[in-house]
Structure 1
């Protein structure tokens, strides 16, 4: 079997770099439908080399490289503050990136593509745990609506090219991710990296307390990024008949989560323990909490043979080790 040429869009991001690690370690999980496992040729481009919001540049890249598969992990991402402050950038950049890549993949004959979305596609008050068929059944969370709409558009792009042109473009919806390569910006990061930085700085500075946004009762599910990468490769490598029988025609995407959630207050205490911070933890209810609960129903993916392996405590320790390398 010829080595597949696999383009990982966003290979420097947390998820994209984890997918590259996964592909480099296990290759094409085998045996595949076409024969034994093989080591892929991984294609990457930095933002300086290829602006994914530039349609002409993206088409020229696909014409030159002719990838067989695409993992679309490139995106503009951020936490509640960033999403709420920069909605125009979040909707514009994400729409442009996914539209350019998916259309170029189709135009240049890419056989398989995997689009990575987000759990924020579901309604703010969706029944818990959130099933795939909850999509478009209610109002989105206002603080990240722009990002969520862009991700929903990505799902529908894949669905539309599959329906009209017979492509095999799949979508996976990860829960909240964390781990090596995360963004630890003090304002624009997600909750786990933000808390890791805050508790670490409090420990170093002997601060008496750490303030957490919200009242601490909102519950979230967290998945270590290398588990997400393993799930992505697993879904990409499922034969089309198996995938279609378990996913289509009921839905056009598949959830990826660990099946457990935790209150933000409990999460903060767990992070403080990993870091060794012994001060007080306080809460600021004037700050937004986001949805009261976000737990994914990953039954469909579990039925297809994948389950998360890295627990939260182990994952937090690995994430803190990564932070210390910065």
Structure 2
């Protein structure tokens, strides 16, 4: 029997983004930043199609900006634009990046036995709502191989035990280093080491099944039940060496009651988890996030 392999749909196509770029800027706030960046892009022949900015405090705070612009012959002209922009960046002490909108980010999804977050990402990718390429799925279990491979996505089974953790991580790094832009922990029930995190600084997104900073660590639904909470939530965050303490990207909650046992809290929570993680991944893929200290600015 033949197997159907699902492929992603590009709802709007990629042609309209062939000449589009995205610029992210952060710097100390002062007068003239927007004018300088806009004038520079105008002089380069670029057309701004979207611009968002945020200041923490106009008097000595940090300023953040995200600009989308179109530039004819982008692939040819972008390197010189970036080189010329350094004079603006130096003047305003900017940290900045420019990304081509047509270049999809390559994702590696790490998963254990629960499939709800993985499925949401696969469905959004297949529908064309997640503008990224899922390069691979890595799991410490073999349970979801058939599901993942039905989407035409490579599946790598790397068992993890206390004795084999170092070797498992070596294999994971061999598979991902230089080959993916973002790692997603989609209910991957293993702690990643500082060595792995260092390779992907601010490029690992985890979904934690509680409304952080409440109920850090294991069994958060049991913790929530024991505490008698009336709201449960989920948190998508960048991973740092401190457990469940990285910059928060997105959160959501749902009301519960004393009638809900731990199993019911988990059932309700699965829906929150899948939506929160998908939003965070989508925003990262569309270059909508700027990390500053232990926070994110999300231009959504």
* TM more than 0.5: no
- What TM-score comes out, normalization by structure 1 length? 0.23
Structure holding more helix per residue: 1
**More strand by percentage:** 2
Task: Output the TM-score relative to the length of structure 2.
Answer: 0.24
Higher relative contact order (CA 8 A, sep 6+): 1
For the pair shown, the structure with the greater C-alpha radius of gyration is: 2
